[in-house]
A = this chain, B = another copy of it.
Amino acid sequence: MLVLHTVQDVISWRNENIDRRTQTSGFVPTMGCLHDGHLSLIRKSRLENNFTIVSIFVNPSQFAPSEDLDKYPRTLQADLALLEKAGVDLCFVPNAAEMYPQGIPLEVEAQKGPFVTVIGVSEQLEGRTRPNFFRGVATIVTKLLNVVLSTHAYFGQKDFQQFTVLKVMAEELFMNTKLKMMPIVRDADGLALSSRNRYLCQESRHLSTAVYQALQMAAACLQNLDTNEEVQRSDLVDKILQHWVPHVTSGDFEVDYVSVADPRTLMELESVSGSTAVVISCAVFVKDRENSSTVVRLIDNILLNQ
């Protein structure tokens, strides 16, 4: 596996090695700290393409000054070993100066250069708590896709809103890459894999399985509906919140949002039938029981009838 650090090197490599008219390439952008979720994307890319390219870049512009950019887990050597073993052709590992030639201060007001925003699907859900998150994600993915110019790019469903934002971006800016979403990979107990799970002690990690359980209960409720029967959004949300009451009471959980939305527009639905396309999603802050200053924000979702 080749490891490259500059934009120019990746462009040269791609121009020399890939004939875009007859060969396909798959791209998996990551922030490193790789887990089986990432590896499932890489396996899919390998299956579907002549070349597979991965990037590892902890993107400053998607972190707010209050967030965990400095503490975000970085495990480059282990990541590279995993990628090598997974049969990746090229790993692109730029530094921040390479991706942001004018620098990238965390304060949005001080940032200069080109930025991509996707209006209409960025403001709700994750965007309410993290107002510049999707601007950062859309901008870095635009840069990476232009550098890699792959025919396909793979993203996990765990960040469903992120995929929606990027899909609207790629389609409506007419980018030359087709975006694909792959199912959430979960631990045996149902917890969605995330690089941030490792911040949690065993007890808090175990409690966190209630996040997905609640979503499953809401999904089951929809799947058990008779034809023409409907459920109100508020009833579904209540069912989910109800499941978390013990954890909220104990101080383990703080609920950020629960959403029952149209998967295309990410607008909340009033009511849902058994055949409505719907994404049930949530974000929950989990306070670590061993280290109370550690709060991990978990997100998860279930997609039905998509």
Contact = CB atoms under 8 A, between A and B. Distances in A.
A31 B100 CA distance: 31
A169 B102 CA distance: 12
A112 B116 contact: no
A265 to B, nearest CB: 9
A266 B295 CA distance: 44
Contacts of A172: 100-102, 113-114, 143
A102 B114 contact: no
A168 interface: yes
A20 B21 CA distance: 9
A146 to B, nearest CB: 4
A21 B12 CA distance: 11
A149 interface: yes
A220 to B, nearest CB: 34
Given A21-B15, A175-B146, A113 B118 contact: yes
A246 interface: no
Which of A15, A116, A139: most chain B CB closer than 10 A?
A116
A136 to B, nearest CB: 13
19 contacts: A7-B174, A11-B174, A19-B21, A20-B20, A101-B171, A101-B172, A102-B172, A112-B120, A113-B120, A114-B117, A114-B118, A114-B119, A114-B169, A115-B116, A116-B173, A143-B173, A146-B173, A146-B174, A146-B175
Given A7-B174, A101-B171, A115-B119, 5 more contacts: A102-B172, A113-B120, A113-B172, A114-B117, A146-B174
